[in-house]
Chain A
Amino acid sequence: MAWFNSHLLTNVVFFPLLWAGLGFLIPVGKQHEAGFIKFWTFVGTVITFMFSVVLYIQFDPNVFEFQFIEFVPWIAEIGVSYHFGIDGISLWLILLTTFLSPIVILSSFSAIGHRLREYYFLLLVLESGMLGAFVSLDLFLFYVFWEVMLVPMYFLIGIWGGKERIYAALKFFLFTVVGSLLMLVAIFYLAYLHKIQFGVYSTSILDLYRVRTLANGILSPQALLFLAFALAFAVKVPMFPLHTWLPDAHVQAPTAGSVILAGVLLKMGGYGFIRFAFPLFPEAVRIFQGAFLILGTTAVLYGAWVSMVQPDIKKLVAYSSVSHMGFVIIGLFSLNSISVTGSIYQMLNHGISTGGLFLLVGILYERRHTREIKDFGGITRVMPLFSVAFMITALSSIALPGTNGFIGEFLILLGTWKEHSILAGVSALCVIFGAIYMLWAFQRMMFGPIKNKENETLKDLNFREIVVIVPIIICIFFMGIFPNFFFNKMNASVQKFLSQAGESSTIVYKSIPPQEVKRAQQ
Chain B
Amino acid sequence: MNMANMMSFIKPELLVFNDLILKSSAPYLWVLLGIVFAIILSVLNKINKKWFVFIFMLIFACLGVRSAFRLMNEPAVLLFNQMLISDSFGSFFNILFLGSAIITALSSFRYLDKQEIQHPEYYILLLLSSLGMMLMASALDLIVLFIALEIMSLAVYVLVGFRRHDRKSNEAALKYFILGSVASVMFLYGAALLYGVTATTQIREILKHVQTSQGAMSPLFVVGVGLILFGFLFKVACVPLHMWMPDVYEGAPTPITGFMTAGLKAAAFAAFIRVFTTLGYGTALSAQLQNHFHDLLWVFAVATMVVGNLVALLQTNLKRMLAYSSIAHSGYLLVGILSGCLNQEGYAPLLVYLMAYVVMNLGAFAVLSFLASRDDTGLSLYDLSGLSKRHPVFSFCLAVFLFSMAGLPPTVGFVGKYWLFYSAVQAGEISLVVISVLCSAVSVYYYLRVLVYVYMQDEVSSFGEQRSLSIFYHFAVGLMVICTLQWGLMPSSLLQIAKKVVMSF
Contacts and interface: CB of A to CB of B under 8 A. Distances in A.
Interface of A: 74-78, 140, 143-144, 147-148, 150-151, 154-155, 158-159, 165-166, 169-170, 173-174, 177-178, 181-182, 184-185, 188-189, 191-192, 195
B456 to A, nearest CB: 4
Interface string B378-418: 00000000000000000000000001000011100011001
Nearest to B406: A177
A253 to B, nearest CB: 13
B408 to A, nearest CB: 5
B479 interface: no
A158 B437 contact: no
Contacts of B421: 184-185, 188
Contact of B492 (A76, A184, A191, A195): A76
Nearest to A178: B441
Contacts of B414: 144, 147
8 contacts: A165-B456, A166-B452, A166-B456, A174-B445, A177-B408, A185-B437, A188-B421, A189-B425
Contacts of A77: 419, 492, 495-496, 499
B456 A169 contact: yes
User: Which residue, B403, B456, B495, has most C-beta atoms of chain A within 10 A?
Assistant: B456
B91 interface: no
B310 interface: no
Contact of B448 (A143, A170, A185): A170
Interface of B: 403, 408-410, 414-415, 418-419, 421-422, 425-426, 430, 433-434, 437-438, 440-441, 444-445, 448-449, 452, 455-456, 491-492, 495-496, 499
Contacts of B433: 185, 188
Contacts of A150: 408
Nearest to A157: B456
Nearest to B488: A144
B430 A177 contact: no
A154 B399 CA distance: 12
A185 B425 contact: yes
Most buried by B among A74, A147, A185: A185
Contacts of A140: 418
B495 A158 contact: no
A155 B455 contact: yes
Nearest to A201: B422
B410 A158 contact: no
A310 B430 CA distance: 44
A181 B418 CA distance: 11
B444 to A, nearest CB: 5
A182 B422 contact: no
Given A173-B444, A185-B421, 17 more contacts: A75-B415, A77-B492, A77-B495, A144-B410, A159-B455, A165-B456, A169-B452, A169-B456, A174-B441, A178-B438, A181-B437, A181-B441, A184-B418, A184-B437, A188-B421, A189-B425, A195-B426
Contacts of A178: 438, 441
A360 B33 CA distance: 72
A21 B455 CA distance: 20
A158 B440 contact: no
A192 B456 contact: no
Contacts of B430: 185, 189
Nearest to A79: B422
B75 to A, nearest CB: 23
Contacts of A159: 455-456
A78 B456 contact: no
Given A140-B418, A181-B437, A188-B421, A158 B455 contact: yes
Contacts of B440: 181
Contacts of A148: 408-410
B238 to A, nearest CB: 23
A205 B491 CA distance: 21
Contacts of A169: 452, 456
B492 A75 contact: yes
Contacts of B491: 75
B426 A192 contact: yes
A192 B403 CA distance: 27
Contact of A182 (B418, B425, B434, B496): B434
Contacts of A75: 415, 491-492, 495
Contact of A188 (B408, B422, B449): B422
A492 to B, nearest CB: 32
A147 B410 CA distance: 9
B434 A173 contact: no
A174 B418 CA distance: 19
Contacts of B441: 174, 177-178, 181
A62 to B, nearest CB: 36
Contacts of B437: 181-182, 184-185
A151 B444 CA distance: 12
B419 A78 contact: yes
A74 B441 CA distance: 26
Nearest to A190: B425
A144 to B, nearest CB: 4
